[in-house]
């Protein structure tokens, strides 16, 4: 595991990991972060606008309304909208796409609620170590209300959940959802928290909140492959996917990058060691 930055030393060696705050799609559930991506493509298509899967993945990690705003700013997509409507997209258009997107996302999120291998075991291990489990998502609360009970059947039950539309301050890449977890969980030091995410805005969120950050290279948005598609790649192609994703995640500020949540215990052990030695993120 390669470090992006060398942290400063602390004056005390008594710190320990207090909480781990997870993203959802591509991190705990939905290997490849497929559910939101295809729905963006479908929602825009319903307005006669073609959005590629690669374009749809670009702003992943933002709140869904902001994601739509960012897509409408992509030159190729903006040009299509002008051709269709005769004007640039405005807030009313963003609202219209968002309202079209929401029922489609609610209807489909359950199809992608399967946990990523190792996620439940990692959450169990954290609780055994008395480490609190937070979470936040770009999904709105209406989507999370569908996803949460389905995930709970598979033992994916964080101690706290913040949805992407719940905070007046906004979402990623700002620190607000991560810090809302800190407050709700009663954490005493943000520097003893770890943010785990598969998107660059999610890593930025953790860094801005003053936390350790762990990026996921193969299970989430940066690679965007199903388990089966990834397994079908030869070693060289899979290594290229890993390297490309890791570069983007490190560039956004990740302290560590691992393949998936199943590999998190090793990264956490290293963070715990560094905290015990007085290092800070």
Report whether pLDDT(239) > 90.
yes
Report whether pLDDT(112) > 60.
yes
Using a 10 angstrom Cβ sphere, with 0-12 exposed, 13-18 middle and 19 or more buried, the burial of residue 239 is exposed
Report whether pLDDT(4) > 70.
no
Whether residue 64 lies in the annotated active site: yes
Q: What percent of the chain has pLDDT over 70?
A: 95
The Cα 58–Cα 74 span in angstroms is 10
The Cα 121–Cα 124 span in angstroms is 5
pLDDT tier at 13, thresholds 50, 70, 90: low
* Domain segments of the chain as ranges: 19-33+113-276, 35-111
pLDDT tier at 174, thresholds 50, 70, 90: very high
Q: What is the pLDDT of residue 10?
A: 42
In this structure, whether the domain defined by 19-33+113-276 belongs to CATH 1.25.40.10 is answered with no
Listed range (55-69, 171-185, 214-228) with the worst mean pLDDT? 55-69
Q: What is the pLDDT of residue 108?
A: 87
- Range 139-152 average pLDDT: 94
Report whether pLDDT(8) > 70.
no
CA-CA-CA-CA dihedral for 215, 221, 223, 227, to nearest 10: 100
- Range 172-189 average pLDDT: 97
Q: How far is CA 99 from the centre of its chain?
A: 22
Residue spans of alpha helices (H) in the chain: 34-45, 53-57, 64-72, 75-85, 91-108, 119-128, 141-152, 176-185, 200-208, 227-232, 235-251, 264-276
Report whether pLDDT(2) > 50.
no
The Cα 204–Cα 208 span in angstroms is 6
Between 108 and 136, the more confident residue is: 136
Listed range (47-61, 166-180, 253-267) with the worst mean pLDDT? 47-61
- Range 249-270 average pLDDT: 98
The Cα 54–Cα 35 span in angstroms is 14
pLDDT tier at 115, thresholds 50, 70, 90: very high
Q: What is the pLDDT of residue 35?
A: 85
Catalytic residue among 23, 30, 165, 197: 23
pLDDT digits 0-9 by tens, 184-235: 999 999 999 999 999 999 999 999 999 999 999 999 999 999 999 999 999 9
Whether residue 42 lies in the annotated active site: no
- Range 266-274 average pLDDT: 98
pLDDT tier at 11, thresholds 50, 70, 90: very low
Catalytic residue among 30, 64, 132, 165: 64
**DSSP secondary structure letters along 97-124:** HHHHHHHHHHHHGGGG-PBPTTHHHHHH
Between 161 and 38, the more confident residue is: 161
Average pLDDT of the chain?
A: 92
Q: What is the pLDDT of residue 1?
A: 53
Report whether pLDDT(148) > 50.
yes
> What is the assigned CATH class of domain 35-111?
mainly alpha
ω into 173 cis (within 30 of 0): yes
**CATH topology match: 19-33+113-276 vs 35-111:** no
């Amino acid at each position: 595991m390669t470090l992006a930055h060398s942290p400063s030393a602390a004056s005390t060696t008594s710190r320990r990991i207090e909480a781990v705050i997870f993203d959802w799609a591509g991190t705990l559930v939905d290997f490849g972060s497929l559910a939101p991506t295809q729905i963006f493509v479908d929602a825009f298509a319903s307005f006669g606008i073609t959005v590629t899967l690669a374009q749809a993945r670009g702003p992943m990690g933002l709140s869904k309304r902001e994601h739509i705003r960012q897509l409408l700013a992509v030159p190729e997509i903006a040009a299509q909208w002008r051709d269709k409507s005769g004007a640039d997209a405005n807030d009313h258009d963003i609202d219209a796409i968002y309202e079209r997107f929401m029922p489609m996302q609610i209807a489909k999120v359950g199809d992608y609620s399967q946990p990523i291998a190792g996620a439940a075991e990692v959450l169990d291990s954290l609780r055994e170590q008395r480490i609190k489990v937070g979470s936040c998502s770009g999904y709105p609360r209406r989507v999370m209300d569908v996803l949460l009970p389905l995930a709970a059947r598979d033992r994916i039950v964080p101690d706290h959940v913040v949805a992407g539309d719940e905070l007046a301050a906004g979402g990623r890449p700002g620190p607000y959802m991560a810090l809302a977890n800190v407050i709700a969980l009663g954490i005493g030091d943000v520097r003893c928290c770890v943010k785990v995410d598969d998107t660059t805005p999610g890593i930025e969120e953790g860094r801005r909140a003053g936390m350790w950050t762990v990026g996921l290279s193969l299970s989430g948005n940066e690679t965007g492959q199903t388990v089966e598609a990834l397994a079908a790649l030869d070693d060289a192609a899979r290594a290229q996917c890993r390297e490309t994703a890791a570069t983007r995640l490190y560039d956004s500020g990740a302290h560590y990058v691992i393949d998936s949540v199943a590999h998190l215990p090793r990264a956490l052990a290293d963070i715990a060691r560094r905290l015990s030695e007085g290092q800070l993120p």
